Structure 1
Amino acid sequence: MAVTALAADTPQRRPPDLLDSPSRPNTAAVRSITTGIAAQGNVLVAVGPRGLILRSADGGQHWAQVASPVSTDLVTVRFTQPGTVWAVGHDAVVLRSTDGGAQWDRVLDGRGVLALLRSTAAAEGLQAEVERTMQQSASADVWPAPLLDIWFADARRGFAVGGFGLILATTDGGEHWSVWTARADNERRFHLYAVQGQGTQTWLAGEQGLLLRLDAAAGRFLKVDSPYNGSWFGLDLSEQRVLAYGLRGNAFASADNGRNWQKLELGSEANWVAALPQGGDQTVLVSQSGEVLAWTAATVAVQRQA
């Protein structure tokens, strides 16, 4: 998950050829660490270090490793349209599968992201910070920060977000991407850990309490007053409310687009790193310590699961 994948603010130096090296088959892959998992029906896909991709077609009863075009660490995986799966990770890599995770293609990576950033840096006023960030890169032609989350509103429109405030947008299903980093109220370039949307709403969450909401008319992510100054690791949206969760047992819900927030009394100081909608108004929250809680929005009630 994003909190595990970005253990330090400074990107780790790594060999520059991981983007060009497919993942290696591993007989012990099904017992490997994974950092993200997604499901669509009975199909599950999990991702992890060194380009690891695992797939199950029977609801998790049996797993198999599938080939990945890269060996860089993968962080997050999301199903979008039926059969379409996206994975993002270190070296700003974006992978896509159109057959439910059986085969994967690379659609973007740190080389492409760096080219995008440099081509728009002058217009966006980003030249200095782009070159400053590149001083931390192990490779002169690869953007060093990870992508940590990805979300699509439909088959064509989506966002990917990550380290140093990076925001990428596509309007053609990932064939082309544009840089939205400067189109956000995030001048300090805090890391962005989550992007999520519902209906006409699109939200981002990140370091130091950063919450952003898309103003579609302005084409910009505007800052939302946050009820907490620590890092948020995830968001869950429904038509009725927004849920933000993160460090040290903090989770808050808003029923009015972020104008007012109510703290969820979770009874735990663990870091909350995942939310799983269960239908209706119930959401299951999962902590980094393995705790599982069920939250019901209508009553703001939390129940600890076995």
Structure 2
Amino acid sequence: MFLIKSFALGLALIAGNANAAPMADVLDLPAQHSALASHSPLLDLARAGSRLVAVGQRGHILFSDDQGKTWTQASVQVSSDLTAVQFPTAKQGWAVGHDGVVLHSGDGGATWQKQLDGRQLGRLMQDYYAAKPDALQWLDEGKRIEAEGADKPFLDLWFSDERNGFVVGAFNLIFRTRDGGQSWEPWADRTDNPSGYHLNAIASDGEHLFIAGEQGLLLRLDEHSERFQALASPYQGSFFGIAAEPGLVLAYGLRGHAYRSTDAGTSWNQVNTGLNSSITASARDPEGVLYLFGQTGQALASGDEGRTFQPLDIGQPVPVYGALTSADGGLLLVGARGISQRPLAPAKQE
């Protein structure tokens, strides 16, 4: 997902940068309000109670109180590109993004404050691992991250409640909070990821917590040892997302590949999606229909717990990076062209 999200945002940011005058650090520059924010690249959206919240480039966060008909831009302390958002409660939410940014909102997404950024990550790792004689490699990794500066992105997050959560990202970046983001604990030494692959997605099925990443990386948290242990992976290409719920985990990613597990990741079966492009988003409606979305605009629907998928007509194809089902039975999508609402047509029969 690191490459997918970086590429999507990069297309909008390349022009003119080579000769641009020095600019303020995006970590110190509040997001600028724009009338076009809802049409700019957005990478994720979530529900905050009855409110909808979307995040994207240049620190843009928008919220809607009328199920996506109109959007208001939130007040955000940074201009870093944002990649993921989650609200474990109606009021308490978090967003993550480039430059090691972690943002928190206590008012349902209207205002946001920075809790963590890339300038702190290396020092946090050094302070933590200095007291662990058996973790010298992670002490050195902290020094390297600090020397390289605030350029490491977080790509996803998961909170079980308003106090406990994880943020994950590129090059095995992973931090845990147990106090709502007031403090963060490095977990790089607690992942079976010796090659330092990107951690692209994190999700829970209600009982187990999973991470999916590049090169087929699949991890599951062992609560007893407090360690993300490697699962036998069915695929050596990158996974960009996980759809998880009780009794079902669906990992999806590169070149249309998707794999389904009903035993908490112990075994996997490939799902025929019929896609050649990468799968970049998923959603589920209240009736249990599961949706997948491709990088080039294709949509699929499954009414049998992800065993089979059928093409779905959502009108004009648009790259999708985040999706939710709407109150009227349609879809709310975010991507390179901002926010769009799509009615659902019957699935095409093969």
- Alpha-carbon offset, residue 250 of structure 1: 0.3
Q: 2:6 matched to which residue of 1?
A: 6
In 2, the alpha carbon distance for the partners of 1:297 and 1:27 equals 41
Q: 1:233 matched to which residue of 2?
A: 240
- Alpha-carbon offset, residue 174 of structure 1: 1.6
* Equivalent AA in structure 2 for residue 231 of structure 1: S
Task: Please give the secondary structure, in 1, of the residue aligned with 2:42.
Answer: coil
Gaps of 5+ in 1: none
Task: Note if contact 1:203-1:214 (Cα within 8 Å) is conserved in structure 2.
Answer: yes
2:53 to 45, 53, 56: 45
Q: 2:308 matched to which residue of 1?
A: 301
Task: Please give the secondary structure, in 2, of the residue aligned with 1:35.
Answer: strand
1:102 to 102, 110, 117: 110
Q: 1:247 matched to which residue of 2?
A: 254
In 1, the alpha carbon distance for the partners of 2:286 and 2:54 equals 22
- Alpha-carbon offset, residue 134 of structure 1: 4.4
TM-score between the two structures when normalised by the length of structure 2: 0.80
Q: How many residues align?
A: 298
- Alpha-carbon offset, residue 115 of structure 1: 2.1
Task: Note if contact 2:248-2:262 (Cα within 8 Å) is conserved in structure 1.
Answer: yes
Task: Please give the secondary structure, in 2, of the residue aligned with 1:116.
Answer: helix
1:114 to 118, 122, 125: 122
Q: 2:178 matched to which residue of 1?
A: 171
Task: Note if contact 1:234-1:245 (Cα within 8 Å) is conserved in structure 2.
Answer: yes
1:127 to 108, 127, 139: 139
In 2, the alpha carbon distance for the partners of 1:156 and 1:34 equals 26
Task: Note if contact 2:83-2:98 (Cα within 8 Å) is conserved in structure 1.
Answer: yes
- Alpha-carbon offset, residue 252 of structure 1: 0.5
Task: Note if contact 2:218-2:233 (Cα within 8 Å) is conserved in structure 1.
Answer: yes
Q: 1:202 matched to which residue of 2?
A: 209
2:191 to 172, 184, 201: 184
Give 1:210-229 correspondences, 5 Å limit. 210-229=217-236
- Alpha-carbon offset, residue 104 of structure 1: 1.0
Higher relative contact order (CA 8 A, sep 6+): 2
Kindly provide the CA deviation profile for residues 97-130 of structure 1, in whole angstroms up to 9, marking residues without a partner as x. Answer: 1222111111111123222112123323213333
Gaps of 5+ in 2: 9-13, 314-350
- Alpha-carbon offset, residue 30 of structure 1: 2.1
In 1, the alpha carbon distance for the partners of 2:70 and 2:287 equals 29
2:88 to 54, 76, 80: 80
In 2, the alpha carbon distance for the partners of 1:305 and 1:181 equals 40
